[in-house]
Amino acid sequence: MSSQHWRRNQSKDKFFSESRKLGYRSRSVFKLDEINRKYKILKKPKSILDLGSAPGGWSNYAFEKTKLKHIVANDIEPMKPIPGVHFILGDFTSESIQEEILKVNKSKFDLILSDISNNKTGNNITDQFSFYEIAKNVLEFSKIGLTSSGVLVIKIFIGLGFEEFKKDMDQTFKNVNIFKPNASRPESKETYAIGTKIRYTQNI
């Protein structure tokens, strides 16, 4: 899509204009809002990890809804500070970043959100492959980083790698729901997987 076309699409997009009007950092907030309304994920977590957090829409929303003191956010790109949110800059797939995340929180998370999406090269096969490498990393981390009643919400893309990832989710969680919010563009392959009732967790 050309940048001109993209800008035209953005200005016609009601979620984009609404997010501007309300001062949200991203239109993605509306996706989390829909997920939260349907699955009540922000009702009782005591600690939250927000992966792929920049520019900060989801972290901000999670903080406003919960007023928690334990929200940790991570992105490979910088993010402007949000009161109450501890931001860690770096590639989530790196071991040292994962260690830092666990060290900062001192215990496991009740909710892990991942809205990570990789930079697209235009080659669908390469893009899907590198996306699912990160997604699998998030799923593996959940086995260490989630409490036994914890919830994982992860952005995924339908296409190459999806079926295998869904199987891995099913092996990790007793309940897996696939949900595409209205705010997720219909032409996009993006959707979300929500995993609850983790089958087994590993000690930190």
Ligand X SMILES: C[S@@+](CC[C@H](N)C(=O)[O-])C[C@H]1O[C@@H](n2cnc3c(N)ncnc32)[C@H](O)[C@@H]1O
Positions annotated as catalytic residues are 155
CB 122 within 8 A of CB 161: no
- Shortest distance, position 44 Cβ to ligand X, whole Å: 21
Q: Where along the sequence are the contacts to ligand X (CB under 6 A)?
A: 25-26, 28-29, 52-58, 74-77, 91-93, 115-118, 134
- Shortest distance, position 200 Cβ to ligand X, whole Å: 25
CB 49 within 8 A of CB 61: no
What is the distance between the alpha carbons of residues 163 and 51, in angstroms, rounded to a whole number? 22
Cα four-point dihedral sign 150, 128, 53, 102? positive
- Shortest distance, position 92 Cβ to ligand X, whole Å: 4
- Shortest distance, position 53 Cβ to ligand X, whole Å: 6
- For the purposes of burial, counting CB atoms within 10 Å of the CB of 179, is it exposed (0-12), middle (13-18) or buried (19 or more)? middle
Considering just the CA atoms, what is the radius of gyration of the chain in Å? 16
